[in-house]
Chain A
Amino acid sequence: MTETLVPFDEVLERYDPAMGLEVHVELNTNTKMFCGCPATFGGEPNSQVCPTCLGLPGSMPVVNAKAVESAIRIGLALNGKIAEWCRFARKNYFYPDMPKNFQTSQYDEPIVYDGYLDVEVEGETFRVEIERAHMEEDTGKTTHIGGSTGRIHGADYSLVDYNRAGIPLIEIVTRPILGTGAKAPLVAKAYVAALREILLGLGVSDVRMDQGSMRCDVNLSLSPKGADKLGTRTETKNVNSLRSVERAVRFEMSRHAAILDAGEAIFQETRHFHEDTGTTSAGRPKSDADDYRYFPEPDLVPVAPSREWVEELRGTLPEPPAEKRARLQAEWGYSDLEMRDVWAAGALTLIEATVAEGASAQAARKWWMAELSRAANDRGVELAEVGVTPAQVAEVQKLVDGGSLTDKLARQVFEGLLAGEGSVAEIVDARGLAVVSDDGALGEAVDEAIAAQPAVADKIRGGNQAAAGALIGAVMKATGGKADAKRVRELILEKLA
């Protein structure tokens, strides 16, 4: 079905967007939320299960202390309040991704409430209010067999692996995000990016969107410009990259506007996001919370974190990312624009690590933002996964600083690193990339250049030192770019003095 869409700019002429973002984060605890099974990724199917996470009769759940600790630290880092007393609840539904026929979650008593996160988009700060963050467990993984699409519809039957069932999850839910207008898609993306950065800093999750340890559901509605009532929303599920978050918001805004323009009503439903086309398609009608028949989990006693514990955990929080950015910007002497670009490229921690390895902040920025960003872009991977480490960047820069590599040669080293040709030393060796600063070898090339361009040589003899550039260029060419340009210049001037 081809969807009618309204161009994005036109949407904003008639409608105001409201967004709500729900982010699920898998914690990186050793064990599951309610049992001692390993919570690691990638095991053999059904090899990380026990009677509790399989929901077998007679089994009893017990809460993982580390998961509660992580939930509290996340709450504090999001400027939230920590409940003095809260309970788990059963969310009842019939779907075989949970063998118990319910998911243990929290309902009206989340462990974290009333937080916020400030995000910056193009120099403007938006405060995203966080309504709640609650503890729950992940579900098993279903594979649909048969049918043509590999999707649930048309499948003949499904296979279930319960390794993931019971892994601790924190679901972080925003209040409706209003007043973002044309920046709505960017604010959504920036919020998820900022959240990811905080979680990474806390060390509570791998936050790998590509592996599903961080997943985002995007709620979106439009209301006629100036209206004070929110429109009907759709919920686009499992949007699994930062770029997709932005695209999902953009697409749904255009789609909603077309429906509303036609005088029709938005159907409250979940939507599936398609990475390949950047579009969404209808999922299921959205259940009311009532349909899950939540009730307090009788097998788990309430969680009542003492204020002492909460304060102790507050003491373990890392420097908030925004403050850290301000500090690093001052230390590194970057302009606002440079800093923004660095952050947007995901290069901040990489540059920090490169500087820690001894490179200057300017040099670190140069390599990460030019050569390596381009390579990451070409390969469609995150900068951190491009295949070059901060230590290697620092090592290359050290060779440049020491005069044994030029920038041009350094770029060839990075080429080698990106192609997996080995260590920095191995590549320099194998590709023969060391700078020639040996006077004997350079002297010959300089003599040849002078002989080849007598007119230029005369100019230099006549005192025009700027003319040396032409000879330096010839020497660089003759040495395959490996000559130490500074030394070449000195030799030319000496010989033509």
Chain B
Amino acid sequence: MRSGPTWFNVTSLVLGFSFLYLPIVLLVVFSFNESRLVTVWGGFSTKWYAELLHNQQLLDAFWVTLRVAFMSATLATVFGTMAALVLVRSGRFVGRSLFSGMVFAPLVMPEVILGLSLLLLFVAMDQTRGFWTVMLAHTTFAMCYVAVVVQSRLVGFDKSIEEAAEDLGCPPARTFFQITLPIIFPGVIAGWMLAFTLSLDDLVIASFTTGPGATTLPMKIYSQVRLGVTPEINAVCTILVGFVTIGVIAASLVTKRQQAQRERDERAAFGAH
């Protein structure tokens, strides 16, 4: 039963992955349905996609969401990478356990609490709510995910390379950009993508922290879903799913190629001796 897939293992994998993927596949299929009744097949059509292009509110919301996601993912990647470096490399300092607590707690904290507390902070700061408050809120919870992803990359690599650079008189900042960053780069990219999709996806925190004029796409989808399932929503969802799938596959191909390139470089470097 150990070696090779058994009948039981294959069945559980097939059933498990069908459970994970079937709902999404059905959603995609029914976005191409001619009929307005979303659960009755009425022939192939792309008319719902054409209709999306005329829905200005939806397009506006999509544009807001993309901008928020891009900016918050970038900021979160910078702060999250710093936090990961602190966790792995900074040794002991006063308040270290508080720091690691603050990095890990948002990962499991219910979104309603995060959203409510950030909203009350922005109110206390007398901050007008809108685009910027959503962006700051997303940066805060996404940086914790980035920190975890980058941390796992940092733990795995040989610190002696950094130490060698510093012994040879390389200033710390340069060591970081020339040695550490290139090595952890796949982790940083994965962190950015995770932050981007988390922001693209978030409904609860955005609903609490947004203001007039900054309705995000998930908020728009949510308000329409409450009224019922429609083929337009299926079409929007299909576009988002396609977007993310292409992004993830592209990123994994890029990291794979980088990894192969580095292995070739290392072999070449050692072979030269």
Decide whether A and B assemble into one complex. no
On B, residues with C-beta under 8 Å from A are none
